[in-house]
Structure 1
Amino acid sequence: MRDRHNIKKQTQRQNSMAKTLRISFELRNAYNVNSVIYALKQIFLIKKIIPESAYGMGNLKVLFNILALFKEITGAFIGKLLYIAVMIFMVSGLYKGVEQPDAYIHILFLLTFVGAMINTYLFNPSRDKYYAIVLLRMNAKEYAIVNYGYELIKVFVGFMLFGCILGGVSGVPAYVNIIIPFFVVGAKLTSSAAGLYRYEKWQYDPNENSADKIKVISTLLLLLAAYGLPALKLIIPVQVSVVIMIVMIFTGILSIRKILTFDQYRTVYGKMLKEADVQIEKADNVKLEESRKAIQIDDSDEIACNKKGFEYLNLLFVNRHKKILWKPVMRISVICLMVVIAAIVSPFMFSDVKAGTKELLMKELPISLFIMYFINRGASFTQALFMNCDHSLLTYTFYRKPNAILELFKIRLKGIIKINLVPAVMLGCGFAMTLFLVAPHINPINYLVVLVTFPAESIFFSVHYLVIYYLLQPYNAGTEIKSGMYQVVTALTYVVCYAMIQIKIPTFVFGMAAIGFSMLYCVTACVLVYKIAPKTFKLRA
């Protein structure tokens, strides 16, 4: 009878946990589906196709369920592939004097301990935990254990699949590749159980996102050891790593009992999720406070007294935000000056550099687009505009009239161009001079093209970020970015600029194309702002 009762109780527990897992999937899927619908509704043209009722349409949600499932799968495994490939496999092949298999095991071994501390899964205050435990009042223990187990299975499968493939390519012994997935899971189990012990004994906050000093210092030291020691030709012996891996597997097995028997998950999650909300609120307040502190009110405001209307408003804004507009540009300009000096001096100090410099400036000028992408201040300029100016003025209808928008757009465009031109002109002049020194007998038009290309690209980025700010105004009243299309455009901007690194085009051809495109973009931008911005330049919900 007792055995039958135990079997029945165990069956009920298994059914309960299976139900919890199903509800967790449904909850996560609903959240993902709604996120996909919201993101698509932020994209121009597509948002007109998808009605507001899409959130409740069963047939349409089938498609979005497929997209959400794809997102779940890619998030589970593509992340592991990228982690192993970029953080371990590619880096391990860069060290000279160190065998790649040894470097691979060394880096993976130390990074696993970093992941065990800062990426536990069990103590991540994610939004789905808030919905399930706080709002739906699900059994916190069951929810924690079931979802933690699900995450560990994804980790195990990802490391077993991609770890064996990339480890095998690196020359890592097969038995080590098989041990590694068990080691990674064991390290996470051990770290999670240790967090639960510390909570019981000292009420230690297990939140993995908390800025614990010991955790931060340990992480930095482990990262330094992982990537720095191989450069010094110092590697943890493979035999030592394997022994510790096996030990961590056993400690992980022993840790399972603590994770399964811990009874304070609701208390821990309640405290952790509450603190997460407080931290987000504090972060937003800090951002606003820092933005206010950046405002300088001094005698320079009198300079604007002879201006009127939007010119007065813009000049007042620029004068009061010198800290966040001009100081970073001055720092960037100093760095650019150092780069230019190095570019001019190096060919004469090192003879083999001269030919490479000429090749770079004559055939690989598209790299300049990537450089200008990083040093332009367009994104920070528009963010400052919104937080300290447009945030309030967008509530007035006169501020969104076509003529007013176009007038202020042109005034602001002049301001941001002036800011971005300082380092751009410095780079243009410096590299034109460098080209003249390393190749004095080429067609002089090439010097002029190099000189003008950098300022032209700077103008393009100045226009680009201001245009997408006006046409896609991404911020809501809480200064959060809510435009999916804005994020798509900024991401594509980066991708295109990065792709230009791989392109080799004669300097004259690329330079003339960049200059012409920048001019055309400016004209098109003004037309689009005048026609479209009155409808799009508004506070988001």
Structure 2
Amino acid sequence: MLNAFATSFRLKNTYKTNSILYSLKSLPLVKRLLPDALYASAGLKAFANIVSILIEVGSVFVGKLLYVSLMVFTAAQLLKGPAADSFVHIFFFLTIIGGLLNTQIFNPTKDKYYAIFLMRMDARQYTLSNYLYFLLKMAVGLLPFTLLFGVLAGVSPGLCLLMPFFVCAFKLVVTAISLWGCRDGKKARNENLPAPVIWAGVLAALVLAYALPALGLAMSPPLFLALAVLTVIGGGLSLAYVLRFGEFRAIYRTLLDPGSFVMNPADKNQAVLAAYRKKIDADMTQTSSKTGYQYLNELFMKRHSKLLTKSAKKITLVLLAILIMLIIACLSIPEAKTTVNELMLAFLPYFLFVMYLVNRGRVITQAMFTNCDHSMLTYRFYRQPKAILTLFAARLKYIIAINLMPASVIALGLPLLLFLSGGTSEPLNYVLLFVSIIAMSVFFSVHTLVLYYLLQPYNIQMETKNAAYGILNGLTYFVCYFAMGKELPTLAFGLGVSAFCIVYVAAALLLVYRFAPKTFRLRP
């Protein structure tokens, strides 16, 4: 088993190393400094190897640090009731979510395909060695942070030491149940495509994780201890079953089937196009009174209306339901009024991350490329400055309008909740809650489309070929994520974020005007 793990680790490290080299070559300024024979350079390969190992080590700790510090510890400090109770309560239900969504074994990845089917490695040894390594990383990465932040929250050190093993045990229980359900190899579940019942469980666990402590109904540490011990015992029994399981090759034959797991970019291209065509309105009577590129854009938006607005409408309905529940809570539960009022006056930075999540810009730009730009960019007239800028302006209006659907619920709901929960002595807060949410929505709409036009990342096979595009999107995510940990007065943050959004939008539009005619093209 150790030999199987060593071989698979070298395989994954080689794959990561080549990906790092490719990413370096695609960076605008760096690629000119690198040699053409990039993959034959021993020095660059050694550098990429070191970066790959550092990323692997960082993956053990960095994600766990953010997870425990922000999603568990910070939330426990903000919610009502003893911090220790809230800490173990949130950790318990988030562990359930992690167990349902991340089993490792049922994640169809290229390295599994390469190792099991191309290199013909023993499926059982490969799977078990990598799964045990996954659990070891999970325990080692969580242990220092559950101990540090748990003790700071008032949880006993012994219980903090048990938490990582509780996480691994719960994952083992879920894995064993999933393996038993597909022991014939024909019903392997793809964890990247969770069933509706899994999503229902995730949503229920998420609500229970944060809603109950907000109402002062958190799980006590003794109850958590009892449940954790039972789970660890169940995890031990599950581990024995997983180690004896022998049908991993049959499972991966189903999970990595070309119909559900596409290795060929051309096949993937066709699969994506076929999926999009099913969502397009084929009503040929739809037309437009506009002319030129405005006509092309409006017709595209009309025929793709269901595809472009479906997720935004669903998010809007969910937000509306949450708003109604909060209004009812403010009107009927006195304790809830105080909590909601505090949230409205001090936690506006959290909504920066919320607005990032509800932004549909990336989905829309991907649809634009898949159904229009990947073909039209092959024609020179479509890449003329006038055509690019005309379409950019028209598309920006539609993206802003689509994003304003969920944003309007939040923008109107926050001042209403502030008023119903007790109000404020500073009337300007009502205005800033509304304006700042609208400004954030416009900001993310512009930001997404500007990145698409300045760093157009796709090639004709619809593969992402621009590392800078991924880096900037990742940076945007982390900035919004870290903003959740900040507690700032609504007046100060609202003024600051609104001013920033205005300046950024003006600068971004100027950059598009200057550079998009040169950068908006197909990637090789």
Under TM normalisation by the shorter chain, which class is it?
A: 0.7 to 0.9
2 CA distance for matches of 1:224 and 1:451? 25
- Aligned pair partner of 1:393 in 376, 379, 394: 376
The verdict on how the C-alpha distance between 1:295 and 1:219 changes in structure 2, with shifts beyond 3 A counting, is closer
User: Does structure 2 retain, via aligned residues, the 8 Å contact 1:100–1:171?
Assistant: yes
- Give the CA deviation at 1:63: 0.9
Tell me the equivalent position of 2:454: 471
Tell me the equivalent position of 2:244: 258
Residues 1:29 and 2:16 are matched in the alignment = no
Amino acid at match of 2:217: L
1 CA distance for matches of 2:425 and 2:278? 51
Superposed CA deviations along residues 169-215 of structure 1, whole A, max 9, x for unmatched, are 33333333344444444444444444444444x55634451635665
Amino acid at match of 2:279: K
Show structure 2 runs of 5+ residues with no match: 416-422
SS of aligned partner of 2:31: helix
1 CA distance for matches of 2:354 and 2:229? 46
Superposed CA deviations along residues 447-476 of structure 1, whole A, max 9, x for unmatched, are 999999988877665554433222211223
- Aligned pair partner of 2:257 in 264, 271, 274: 274
Tell me the equivalent position of 2:509: 522
Residues 1:62 and 2:55 are matched in the alignment = no
TM-score (norm 1): 0.71
- Give the CA deviation at 1:59: 1.3
Superposed CA deviations along residues 62-106 of structure 1, whole A, max 9, x for unmatched, are 111111011111112222333333443334444434x44344444
**Bigger Rg over Cα:** 1
1 CA distance for matches of 2:148 and 2:89? 17
2 CA distance for matches of 1:112 and 1:429? 34
2 CA distance for matches of 1:447 and 1:106? 33
Superposed CA deviations along residues 144-180 of structure 1, whole A, max 9, x for unmatched, are 2222222222223223333322333333333333444
Q: How does 1:421-500 map to 2 (within 5 A)?
A: 463-494=446-477, 499=483
Amino acid at match of 2:516: V
Residues 1:205 and 2:191 are matched in the alignment = no
Tell me the equivalent position of 2:418: none
Superposed CA deviations along residues 119-159 of structure 1, whole A, max 9, x for unmatched, are 33334322211111111112222222222222222223223
Q: How many residues align?
A: 502
Amino acid at match of 1:133: I
Residues 1:232 and 2:253 are matched in the alignment = no
- Give the CA deviation at 1:239: 5.4
- Give the CA deviation at 1:30: 0.7
Superposed CA deviations along residues 426-457 of structure 1, whole A, max 9, x for unmatched, are 9999999xxxxx999999xx999999998887
Residues 1:170 and 2:179 are matched in the alignment = no
Structure 1 window deviating more from structure 2 (414-423 vs 308-317): it is: 414-423
Show structure 1 runs of 5+ residues with no match: 1-16, 433-437
User: Does structure 2 retain, via aligned residues, the 8 Å contact 1:42–1:483?
Assistant: yes
2 CA distance for matches of 1:424 and 1:80? 31
Superposed CA deviations along residues 36-77 of structure 1, whole A, max 9, x for unmatched, are 222233322122223442223221111111110111111122
TM-align CA RMSD: 5.2
Amino acid at match of 2:510: V
User: Does structure 1 retain, via aligned residues, the 8 Å contact 2:396–2:445?
Assistant: yes
Q: Taking every aligned residue pair, what percent have the same amino acid on both sides?
A: 36
- Aligned pair partner of 2:34 in 34, 39, 50: 50
Structure 1 window deviating more from structure 2 (446-455 vs 519-528): it is: 446-455
2 CA distance for matches of 1:119 and 1:383? 26
Tell me the equivalent position of 2:420: none
2 CA distance for matches of 1:224 and 1:147? 32
Superposed CA deviations along residues 487-514 of structure 1, whole A, max 9, x for unmatched, are 2233444556675987775988886775
Tell me the equivalent position of 1:146: 129
User: Does structure 2 retain, via aligned residues, the 8 Å contact 1:394–1:400?
Assistant: yes
The verdict on how the C-alpha distance between 1:206 and 1:112 changes in structure 2, with shifts beyond 3 A counting, is farther
2 CA distance for matches of 1:427 and 1:215? 27
